[in-house]
Amino acid sequence: MNPFPIILSAPSGGGKTTIARELLRRRTDLGYSVSCTTRNPRVGEVEGRDYYFLSVAEFERRRDAGDFAESAEVHGNMYGTLRSEVERVLGSGKHVVMDIDVQGALQFTRVFPQSVTIFVLPPSAEVLLDRLRQRRTESKEQLAKRLQSALQELQAVELYEYVVTNDDLTKAVHRVSAIVDAEVVSRERVDGLRHQVSLLVRRLEEEIRN
């Protein structure tokens, strides 16, 4: 099997982080790529598990050294995906779940064109607004920035291969999981398909001849 990256994007408050976490809990064939960010850790966040928290200078140094497969400014902070993280997970034979924004997703698919892209939609504007407001960690300005980028991110839905509406967490996780299962058996991803089919053909032709 050829493991591949699974990109989940959504407007802030779309619930993709929860979906990603739940998927990782349920499936042993998935791993997570821990991103780098220059934002401050929130209460309960752990270095190396939720993010690698870097200073702006360190982030820029790593970006200039070409360590990132993609990087973007989101809500006034820098975020980036380490090539080494993606390769570590793929190298272990697992698909790698990516929780990245729209700008980053576009850059990333150029570096890893075998990625599957999934856009997570909130079920309604009210739900999206409620989820955004419930984040008490945000200041007023941060919330305004998130609203603005949610607006922009929604416009990018057409660039994604799949869309999952997050009306119910369990259902949304099932849908994403079904996408992963379908992609594993999609024709372009099946290893040695030509060879497998040519063996079948040869055997059938032999049978016809005799």
Cα 77 to Cα 168: distance, rounded to the nearest angstrom: 30
Minimum CB distance to ligand 5GP, residue 137 (Å):
9
Cα 63 to Cα 80: distance, rounded to the nearest angstrom: 8
Minimum CB distance to ligand 5GP, residue 194 (Å):
36
In the complex with ligand 5GP, the residue whose CB is nearer, 151 or 197, is 151
Minimum CB distance to ligand 5GP, residue 128 (Å):
13
The residues that touch ligand 5GP, with contacts defined as CB under 6 A, are 12, 35, 39, 70, 72, 74, 79-81, 99-101, 103-104
Minimum CB distance to ligand 5GP, residue 39 (Å):
5
Cα 52 to Cα 166: distance, rounded to the nearest angstrom: 27
In the complex with ligand 5GP, the residue whose CB is nearer, 22 or 99, is 99
Residue 101 near residue 145 (C-beta atoms within 8 A): no
Q: For residue 106, give the amino acid letter.
A: L
Report which residue's Cβ sits closest to ligand 5GP: 104
* H-helix segments, the chain: 16-26, 56-64, 83-91, 102-111, 125-134, 140-154, 169-184, 193-209
Minimum CB distance to ligand 5GP, residue 203 (Å):
48
Structure tokens at 26: 């349920």
In the complex with ligand 5GP, the residue whose CB is nearer, 3 or 15, is 15
Contact residues for 117 (Cβ-Cβ < 8 A; gap 6+): 7, 9, 105, 109, 159, 160, 161, 162
In the complex with ligand 5GP, the residue whose CB is nearer, 80 or 122, is 80
In the complex with ligand 5GP, the residue whose CB is nearer, 72 or 96, is 72
In the complex with ligand 5GP, the residue whose CB is nearer, 19 or 180, is 19
Query: How deeply is 104 buried, as exposed, middle or buried, from its count of CB atoms within 10 A (0-12, 13-18, 19+)?
Result: buried
Contact residues for 111 (Cβ-Cβ < 8 A; gap 6+): 69, 70, 83
Minimum CB distance to ligand 5GP, residue 90 (Å):
16
Distance separating the N- and C-terminal Cα atoms of the chain? 36
